[in-house]
Chains A and B, each alone.
Chain A
Amino acid sequence: MAKFGKCFATLFLLSVFFLNPAFAADDLIIHGLVSQGYLKSSDINYMTLSEDGSSEYSEFVINFQKQMDDKLRLGLQLMSRDLGKEGNNEVKVDWGYGDYKFNDRWGLRLGRVKVPFGFYNKGRDIDMLRTTVLLPATIYMEDYRQFLTAFNGGSLYANLPAGKGDFEFEFAFGGSDLDPDSGIVQDILMRFNNSYEAKMTAGLQAKSALVKALNLGFSHIGDPERGGSTDNGYSAKILWNTPVEGLKVGGTRTSLDLHMDETLIYQPIIIPSPPAPAATIVTPGFQTKVDLNYKFLIDIGSLEYTINKFTFAGELMAAHGQQNFQVAATPIASASAISPAQTSQGSYLQCVYRHNDRHEWSLYRGEFFLDRNNKNWNNWQKDTCASFRYNINPSWSVKIEHHWIDGVGLVQKNLNTNLDRKWNLIAIKTTYNF
């Protein structure tokens, strides 16, 4: 249904743009960009198989906008991206909506709208807007991108003057896409599967010394069949462009409600003969269904100060996650529910220096704790990043950056078999926009 809705919206908007003879073609604004990146890391695969070097990091964006009258504007942006398991160059609607401005202060957008998460989420895929290749992952977690990029819904927004400054408000609402085969969904369910199977195995081994001696246990077979959706999300933003020139402060609150499910299949557990007098079936083969509801509430405080050639930025995030796994009854256990909760914390401080129209430098330090009450290197990620951007011309840029990273709190576990605490990442990207 969601796919049908997006296809319909795309065709509708394209037909309005291209087929309606009432609007002259020179009123149609078209922009786009193409970017290609390269990631190389030491010891860890990050977002893609980067340990061996990976060029699976590209974006293609094209957008169309048209001012229909004084109040109504239509816009559509199509995007294809590839980052490891994410995207795979499938063309999707990045955003597309009708924007109606009631007056200079208030407006309403309906369609697929960008989520105002922190200061920079809306432009996270638009490489030429920033000096760095990667936004600080300690706030802009790449794995969570698919939940946070855009809502299929709408947004109400306002810009209210306040003395020499002004306030910007926005309230976006709706659902978002959830790719059940994406790395983050696999990671969340894999963590549950591992703990669920360890718990079942411990119970089984406690009942039978022979099972324990043979180290028999539960391990699902095959790649689980997964599904997923999100809905009832919202994101609220308040931003104050202060009377101090170049200084803005703000905050966002984002609520997400994710649903995932999977079917796990287990083979019978059999004690062979020998050591048993005869082969004995301990548990029959079975399959069970796992349902996960995952609620996020994410608060971010942001500050940016631009003075002359410098921009200083800092953001602080607290993300409260409440998971609720429900497992259907199996031949060996009745239905059960597990509801772990944790609060993650992220932050960074950044300094950008724009030497001239061609050269830009950036340095940032970010820290992320997956569970702020359980701080260890498996759960944290501390990232120091130095970047350089060279603008070949106003439309074409090249960037390179080096990350010194401590911890693996934002590393996809399904991409790695061994995890090292200290590792490095080099990211290179070139982007052309028109």
Chain B
Amino acid sequence: MKKTILTVFCVAVFIMSIITCVAYADGEQVLVIVNNSVSQADISAKDLGNIFLGKKNSWDGGQKAVPVTLESGSAHETFLKLYVKKNGSQFSTFWKQAVFTGQGIPPKSVSSEEEVVKFVAANPGAVGYISPATAHDGVKILAVK
């Protein structure tokens, strides 16, 4: 009985690996925006991801980095996939673990891209992400190397 369950599980794992690998290619984009006080013009993908994981807390000049995230949506998933290397569920679990084990406080989270722009424009050191089509007056675009 135990061997049968193990065999069925292993076969299922193999099949689902193939299916999920095929389903991953796409060409979505996001804009990374920062408050006008941020002097940096660009950032590496790894450093950007680390800011949203709480591993990097300041910009190169020493100014405090203040990340803001979306609660959900395609821009959120795309940004996490490109720069944080996690999906929304993994990102949420990462921060729940950090909160309940005392490792850190998650970034502020908002429900719309307009709120992201508003937050980034109003807070020195702030960084967020939006879809390319979203209006982003009052903030700077940060290039990701």
Residues of chain A whose beta carbon lies under 8 Å from any beta carbon of chain B:
29, 31, 33, 61, 63, 65, 67, 70, 73, 75, 77, 95, 97, 99, 101, 103-104, 109, 113-114, 122-123, 126, 128-129, 159, 161, 164, 166, 245-246, 306-310, 351, 353-355, 357, 363, 365, 384, 386, 394, 404, 433
A354 vs B17: C-alpha distance in the bound complex, in angstroms?
A: 11
Query: What does DSSP make chain B's interface, helix, strand, loop or mixed?
Result: helix
- Residues of chain B within 8 A (CB-CB) of A394 are 92
A99 vs B9: C-alpha distance in the bound complex, in angstroms?
A: 43
Interchain residue pairs A-B with the least CB separation, the first 6: A308-B20, A122-B101, A126-B100, A75-B102, A95-B102, A363-B9
Given known pairs A104-B57, A159-B55, the reply for A63 and B102 (CB within 8 Å) is: yes
- Residues of chain B within 8 A (CB-CB) of A99 are 102
> Does B43 count as interface, using CB distance less than 8 angstroms?
no
Choose one: A77, A159, A246; the contact of B102 (CB below 8 Å): A77
> Does B13 count as interface, using CB distance less than 8 angstroms?
yes
Whether B57 pairs with A306 at a CB distance below 8 angstroms is no
Whether A101 pairs with B100 at a CB distance below 8 angstroms is no
Residue of A at shortest CB range from B45?
A164
> Does B2 count as interface, using CB distance less than 8 angstroms?
yes
Within the complex, what minimum Cβ distance (angstroms) separates B12 from chain A? 8
> Does B25 count as interface, using CB distance less than 8 angstroms?
no
Within the complex, what minimum Cβ distance (angstroms) separates B48 from chain A? 13
Whether B100 pairs with A61 at a CB distance below 8 angstroms is yes
Whether B6 pairs with A363 at a CB distance below 8 angstroms is yes
Whether A404 pairs with B2 at a CB distance below 8 angstroms is yes
> Does B118 count as interface, using CB distance less than 8 angstroms?
no
A131 vs B61: C-alpha distance in the bound complex, in angstroms?
A: 41
- Residues of chain B within 8 A (CB-CB) of A75 are 102
A244 vs B89: C-alpha distance in the bound complex, in angstroms?
A: 20
- Residues of chain B within 8 A (CB-CB) of A33 are 100
A246 vs B87: C-alpha distance in the bound complex, in angstroms?
A: 12
Whether A67 pairs with B105 at a CB distance below 8 angstroms is yes
- Residues of chain B within 8 A (CB-CB) of A164 are 46
Give 11 A-B pairs besides A75-B102, A357-B88, A363-B5 with Cβ atoms closer than 8 angstroms: A31-B100, A70-B58, A104-B55, A104-B56, A122-B97, A161-B46, A309-B20, A310-B20, A351-B9, A353-B16, A357-B89
